[in-house]
Amino acid sequence: MSSVNVSDLEYAPPGADSLFFDVSFGVAPGEHAALVGANGVGKSTILRILSGELEADDGEFAVGGSMLSMTQDVGMSRPQDTLREMLIEVAPGALRTAGRVLVAAERGLLDGTDDGMGYATALTDWGDLGGYELEMRWEAAARRSVKTPIDDFSTRLVSELSGGERKRLVLDLLLTSNADVLLLDEPDNYLDIPTRGWLEEQIRTSKSTILMVSHDRTLLERVATKIVVIEGSGCWVHGGSYRTFPEARAKRQELLGDAVKRWNDEERRLFQHMKIMKQRAAQNFKNATKANAAETRWEKFVAVGPPPPPVPNQQIHVRLRGADSARRVAQIQDVSIGDLFLPFSDEIHFGERLGLIGPNGTGKSHLLGALAGSAVPDHGTISFGPRTSVGVFTQINDRADFRGRTCFEIARDRLHDDERSMKSLARYGLVNNARQEFQTLSGGQKARLEILCLELEGHNVLLLDEPTDNLDIESSEALEQALDGFQGTVVAVSHDRTFLSTFDRFLMITDDGEVYGLPDYEIAMAGLAKPDQLASLRLAKVLT
């Protein structure tokens, strides 16, 4: 049976307290379930346990049928690898082992440590297990997923493909594999909006049982048939789509609060009854039996214990204040970068929320870099108006100036006060990470720290490159709320459709290098779906 069953799972990282315990849930054959919860609660860890990469400290699980899994950083952590090495890591277990042996044997031939016998054996094992058929599937998936032809998977490097191409190639293989169970960790990361639409359709039509981790609210609403919530060191299940999940969670919190109140009320009632009966027994020994019975009833009730309380909500408080600037914040005059996009001109005005959208590889991040001053346009000029202060959020959260420094040190550099620094970290859910060095933080924690720095630095122009990619849902919502009240200008590259729906207008760069100004979210999404109809879409908007 292609199912996933988890019972009383518990895990503690080496030298740390339990990350979670009492995690129990089931995913029935054909269900598409999503693991949700705050950054750092153990969602990816659960997938790693189910895939066999980690061993649980307690509990049991069973995965029925054949299984394939994809890690969050597939294709990203080892860009120096070849595509063959990357794809071997997402192959079925026996083929994965045989593939690793084959790669090692080939290296042995090159450096003289293998006389050819080991290589011959490895090549035979690879073929016997279906390696050549798998290579044919690689070729078919690459034709669908990669813009430039791949002649040799054993020499083409991972770094030669964009992040989106790497992710789509792996997803294509997994979603067309007919595996009984798929474990997908952040499958939407690095995908552009058209490819996310492709991913949604692939998941919707897949007959595999799927358990995935995702923070893309639009994707969750469209494809998840069950929500497994990891919170309070345990979990609970919402047996519906993400669209109804926020309401279900609020109702659950209310019921948990009511249940705790009822328990407390009943405990007080039984205790008071016991006290009264003991007082009566002191006055008349004939009441001793009733007093003992009342005491026994109270003790049994207390021994069972109260029901679980409501789970404390993650408290993320983003306070992006900004400041006034000239009406014309930036002027883009005949700007182009390499052969990514053709020269275009635009003006960005104070208070605007401008989204940079388009397929992967069209130059959106390069344009943002030119606005930030970290890249120089090959043609044209970019100038900023008076009283502008520009802050930048990086896509990969890899700040060289932060490496080797703790969260506390980074915050204190900007506040020059110990107490205020700790309070600021607490508002971003980072107080427990205060003494942790930046490079050891999770992706979501790095993203929150970067946003905190933007807040503390007090900029009135924010350039954001994929700000919600690694944020959990509550942190994304806190950022959106803060940007709504931000007194300043925001330019963002994003593929998060829920995040983009709050923006005023958009610049879309197409695969042909054309740059279109689009007046609202509805037109922008329609343009991404049908780029050949952009001109008519814009004209229709003007006419209406």
Which comes out higher in pLDDT, residue 97 or 314?
A: 97
Quote the pLDDT of residue 322. 66
What is the C-alpha to C-alpha distance for residues 171 and 198, in angstroms, rounded to an integer?
A: 10
pLDDT in tens, 221-241: 999 999 999 987 788 999 988
What pLDDT shows up at residue 542? 41
Task: State yes or no: pLDDT of 380 exceeds 50.
Answer: yes
| pLDDT score of 356 more than 90 | yes
CA 201 to CA 139: how far, in whole Å? 22
Confidence band for 535, pLDDT divided at 50, 70 and 90 = low
pLDDT at residue 238, rounded to an integer: 94
Backbone angles phi, psi at 374, to 5 degrees: -85, -10
Average pLDDT on 390-395 reads: 85
- Residue 178 has which token pair? 């007919």
State residue 317's pLDDT score. 65
Q: Would you give the DSSP letter of residue 495?
A: -
Give the SS3 label for residue 194.
helix
Q: Which residues contact 185 (CB under 8 A, 6 or more apart)?
A: 43, 44, 47, 69, 70, 71, 72, 212, 213
**DSSP string computed for 109-159:** HHHTS--SHHHHHHHHHHHHTTHHHHHHHHHHHHHHH-SS--S-TTTSBGG
Residue 328 confidence (pLDDT) above 80: yes
Q: What is the pLDDT of residues 436-452, one digit of tens each?
A: 998 888 777 888 888 88
Tell me the whole-structure pTM to 2 decimals.
Answer: 0.79
DSSP 305-360: -PPPPPPPPP-------B----SEEEEEEEEEETTTEEEEEEEEETT-EEEEE-ST
541: pLDDT confidence band, cut at 50, 70 and 90? very low
Residue range 324-333: mean pLDDT, rounded: 85
| The pLDDT of residue 312 | 63
Task: Provide the token pair at 220.
Answer: 């969750």
Separation CA 382–CA 311 (nearest Å): 49
Query: Which of 15-24, 193-202, 234-243 has the least mean pLDDT?
Result: 15-24
Mean pLDDT of the chain: 88
Tens digits of residue pLDDT in 257-271: 877 778 887 888 888
